[in-house]
Structure 1
Amino acid sequence: MKIIGMKGSKEIIVCFIVLLCISSTVGLKLLNTGLPTLGEAEPKPNDHFKSFSTICRQKGYPFEQHKLKTYDGYFLTVFRIPGAKGELLEPAIKANKPVVLLWHGLLDSADSWIINDEDKAPALMLANQGYDVWLGNSRGNKYSREHRFLDPDRDEDKASFFGFNIEDMANHDTNSTVAYIRQETGKRSIGVIGHGIGATQFLLSPQTGIEVLVTLGAYSSLNHTQEKLITTLANNPKLIENLKDAKMYEVFGEDYVSNKIFSAICENSPSVCQYLLEDIMLVESEYINIDRVDEMLSLFPSGTSLENLEHFVQIYTTKKFQKYDYGLELNRKIYDHDIPPLFDLSESPNFRVVQIVGEEDHISTPLDNHWLNSQLESSVEYYGSFRIGHYSFILGKDMSYLEEIIKLFKQDQWS
């Protein structure tokens, strides 16, 4: 595969990381032809590479795992923590607590909500505050790689299985999950907290059954983003075309190759880890719980589609918050127009919005969130700005923002 027109050493590093993580095949080839052997680390008393269920059970939280089918045939795994630490499963469920659904970011999974220290992990904090906590997983990530008749590991099915973008996730994943949770719990309405794209999915698909949506660094306009992955791909458009030509429709899938490398780097080489975090991932080390970074990187990224990633590259390139650009011919067929239409956020959603912004968020920046706020207008009942970054929402050492959210929830409860 020939990469054309890369600019600068940092962009070369980012492109290398993209290729390393893009699929297990590429990752394994690179490991076998030039990267040093890391070896198998000795088992440690931490959360490295543990599943969501294992982490919950070992920490002593009641836990359920559910699987639901979306309206277009994808099977999504949904986790549930219905009670506080030490609480038994059945009594916790029978307590009929208010429900909060958490939704992860672009390349993430439900793992992100429980990987921080126990007193700082958002899902565990909410469970200990008396909430029935549910956690979604978008199509294509490591927990949601199933379909009614498509196999993501079969060559002839990959293009179709991974032929989705944020609009598909908004129209199907969120709707199906909210409907399923309401049916399982008998609740009239639920609260939702979304991180990054996880918040955007709900904004693009206003639906019944949600009382309040909390957006944590929601993606919308990306005019001011410094996200290295998006900006590098935008500056090297041939890379995405090369990946399509190579039929690599899944990106950053859970092959554990990249996860092992990044986790080992942060465990054994703090200076290299700091460069990787601050210069490449734009993690604000001043504001995150640095002791949990190697755990996070052992479980992140969790996979999505190339089309989904390309969609955000298009938004950044065009400076328009618009639907996916399929090209002239398909645009005319799908949209009845040469170019994709803009997403319309002017229509008030059927729920209240709490917008939380990180002042040091270089991915979903304060300026871009200010634009989003202007689009949502009267729907936003609370706008909170905190001195944290994008990853601090899930791995912060100061979780004051979530404490403020819980105060708001307690003041205006739902059932």
Structure 2
Amino acid sequence: MKILIINLVILLCLNQKVMCDPFFETLSEHFNNIAISMTKTFSNIKYHMSQMFSPPESPVPPPPVQPTTRQYGEFNYKRTYNDFVEKTAAENETDIPEYINLKSEPTALMSTPQLATLHGRRMESHVINTKDGYLLTLHRISPKLDNTLNNRTIILHHGLLGSSADWVMLGPTKSLPYILSDIGYDVWLPNARGNYYSRGHIKMAVDSEEFWRFSFQEMGEYDLAAVIDYIRSVKNSNDLIDYVGHSMGATALLVLLSTTPRYNQYLRIGVLLAPLAFMSNVDGPFKALTAMALNPPDQLLKLIGRKEFVPSRKMPKWLALKYCKGPLLFCCNPLYFISGGIPQDITTWKVSFLARLLYHVPAGGSTDTMLHYAQIVKSGKFHRFNNANDQFSLNAVTVPMALFSSSDDWLATIPDLLRLYFSIANPIDHYIIRGKNMSHTEFVWGANAEELVYKKVLDFLDQGIKIFSGSKSNEISDLSFLSLR
């Protein structure tokens, strides 16, 4: 009967002037889901048959999931981004009435590719898999101008509890990916495991506890390694890659380069915005986690989540009121609650930007990630999860690095960044922003980010281009034009 109805509708569409695009999109998606399901079924059968006829000591692994490239129109973000946000929207609206007006803003529930399309940009979505089986979404903005920088490649990695959307929040003219694309960069925006664009695994269910047993350690060792390998493969090039990482995005790079030094050979320069490595001088509510970081009690895990960190995307109101001063919209936001920089007056903010910000942030992450940072705060060392004696070897990080910090940042403090500066092998500069109300999140989507941060980032990239022109080496020979501020 279903086949007969489908045939009748197709005949009607072919012979009458009827708009059937939605029908064909649904039909296409339906058959695509069937094909994916059948493929997975046969792969599982093949795997289990191999298990039955192979010796126990050498089981045959399941077939690897090949990376795929999809254009924006082919990727079903309705099931990933919108559902992720909408499932808690009603609850937020009940407790915080301001959410009702924000949700009605057209861009509030748009995904990163949808925002890019709105901004007049062409964005690709690539799905890649890591060595430990996580499926990650990697967004790409091709250069707007041809051969301006010989199609130089750059990775922009989001920060703590963030996503690729963080980089395009400022709109079509002030967002760093667009600025870089306009001058010829091939821009790649990774999404770390656990955020709403990277919630998949070839074996584990997303709602299982084992799926969420990761921290920034795995993001560096597996996620970022997979991203760099994939980009080099797609471009079929050995050209060095530039890297800009904010917050946790900087942490992931330091982990990768210290644990797998060969990746130092693939990068030309690293620009770290408010990097989180040494964190002895952290201020604010995050300090309260440090005493319980190694053996968190059940009461704490019940409050912040055993798997995903604050899965409701909203801090309890009583906790927000106790530790935070400012609009409840921000105090109840887990990222703003932890990182500080709560705006006291939002009347000058555009409603559309406020809606994008509060519906995109936080984008999700694991509780283990937060506990790992808390352990670092407590130990005063940059070390592996649950092991303060196993420190990351920062002297193995040889990529030239420029560090950014702010006097108003609770998490990435100036003294801690000075310690990082003298711990890596090839520091370029430590650029400090003083007295500008530049909090931890303002480095990416702050109103003054373009003027205070991005222009200086471009200076570092430009100077790096001149230094490394005609050379494959990533060693800096003359740093006289830069100074420690």
Give TM-score scaled by structure 2 length. Answer: 0.65
Which digits, 9 at most, give the CA deviation of each residue in 1:215-272, with x for residues without a partner?
00100111111142x223235668653465798311244x6x649x9xxxxxxxx844
Please identify the structure whose Cα radius of gyration is greater.
2
1:81 Cα deviation from its structure 2 partner = 0.7
1:383 Cα deviation from its structure 2 partner = 2.2
Q: Which residue of 1 aligns with 2:432?
A: 385
Letter in 2 for 1:299: H
Please say if 1:199 is aligned against 2:250: yes
Partner secondary structure for residue 169 of structure 1:
helix
Q: Which residue of 2 aligns with 1:408?
A: 460
Please say if 1:170 is aligned against 2:217: no
Q: How far apart are the structure 2 equivalents of 1:65 and 1:225?
A: 36
Change (3 A) 1:131 1:159: same
Q: Which residue of 2 aligns with 1:9?
A: none
Partner secondary structure for residue 384 of structure 2:
coil
Q: How far apart are the structure 1 equivalents of 2:369 and 2:97?
A: 32
Partner secondary structure for residue 456 of structure 2:
helix
Letter in 2 for 1:57: T
Letter in 1 for 2:241: I
Letter in 2 for 1:79: H
Change (3 A) 1:120 1:359: farther
Change (3 A) 1:64 1:252: farther
Please say if 1:100 is aligned against 2:158: no
1:199 Cα deviation from its structure 2 partner = 0.5
2:107 and 2:355 in contact (8 A); partners too? no
Identity of aligned pairs, percent? 23
Q: How far apart are the structure 1 equivalents of 2:89 and 2:177?
A: 37
Q: How far apart are the structure 2 equivalents of 1:57 and 1:79?
A: 12
1:53 Cα deviation from its structure 2 partner = 0.8
Q: Which residue of 2 aligns with 1:70?
A: 130
Q: How far apart are the structure 2 equivalents of 1:44 and 1:381?
A: 45
Higher mean C-alpha displacement, 388-397 vs 106-115 = 388-397
Q: Which runs of 5+ in 2 are unaligned?
A: 1-83, 258-262, 318-325, 473-485
Q: Which residue of 2 aligns with 1:118?
A: 172
User: 1:55 is matched with which residue: 111, 115, 130?
Assistant: 115
Q: How far apart are the structure 2 equivalents of 1:294 and 1:303?
A: 17
1:193 and 1:214 in contact (8 A); partners too? yes
Change (3 A) 1:170 1:381: same
1:41 Cα deviation from its structure 2 partner = 4.4
Q: How far apart are the structure 2 equivalents of 1:40 and 1:242?
A: 31
Q: Which residue of 2 aligns with 1:234?
A: 290
Which digits, 9 at most, give the CA deviation of each residue in 1:265-320, with x for residues without a partner?
xxxxx844476687764126499994434421110111111111111111112233
1:31 and 1:37 in contact (8 A); partners too? no
User: 2:410 is matched with which residue: 362, 376, 387?
Assistant: 362
1:120 and 1:396 in contact (8 A); partners too? no
Please say if 1:248 is aligned against 2:306: yes
1:324 Cα deviation from its structure 2 partner = 1.0
Partner secondary structure for residue 139 of structure 1:
coil
Q: How far apart are the structure 1 equivalents of 2:102 and 2:405?
A: 39
Q: Which has the higher contact order (CA 8 A, sep 6+)?
A: 1
Higher mean C-alpha displacement, 363-372 vs 112-121 = 112-121
Higher mean C-alpha displacement, 316-325 vs 286-295 = 286-295
Q: Which residue of 2 aligns with 1:304?
A: 365
Partner secondary structure for residue 78 of structure 1:
strand
1:252 and 1:302 in contact (8 A); partners too? no
Q: Which residue of 1 aligns with 2:400?
A: 352
Q: Which residue of 2 aligns with 1:320?
A: 381
Q: How far apart are the structure 2 equivalents of 1:205 and 1:39?
A: 39
Partner secondary structure for residue 341 of structure 1:
strand
Partner secondary structure for residue 198 of structure 2:
coil
Partner secondary structure for residue 213 of structure 1:
strand
Q: How far apart are the structure 1 equivalents of 2:88 and 2:104?
A: 24
Q: How far apart are the structure 1 equivalents of 2:374 and 2:229?
A: 31
Letter in 1 for 2:289: L
Partner secondary structure for residue 384 of structure 1:
strand
Q: How far apart are the structure 2 equivalents of 1:31 and 1:46?
A: 20
Q: How far apart are the structure 2 equivalents of 1:274 and 1:303?
A: 16
Q: How far apart are the structure 1 equivalents of 2:166 and 2:462?
A: 24
Q: How far apart are the structure 1 equivalents of 2:140 and 2:345?
A: 28
Change (3 A) 1:30 1:319: farther
CA-atom RMSD in angstroms: 3.5
Q: How far apart are the structure 2 equivalents of 1:46 and 1:295?
A: 9
Change (3 A) 1:95 1:210: closer
Please say if 1:79 is aligned against 2:139: yes
Which digits, 9 at most, give the CA deviation of each residue in 1:374-403, with x for residues without a partner?
211x41112211233211111122223211
Change (3 A) 1:274 1:97: same
Q: Which residue of 1 aligns with 2:192?
A: 138
2:149 and 2:184 in contact (8 A); partners too? no
1:193 Cα deviation from its structure 2 partner = 0.4
Give TM-score scaled by structure 1 length. Answer: 0.75
Partner secondary structure for residue 278 of structure 2:
coil
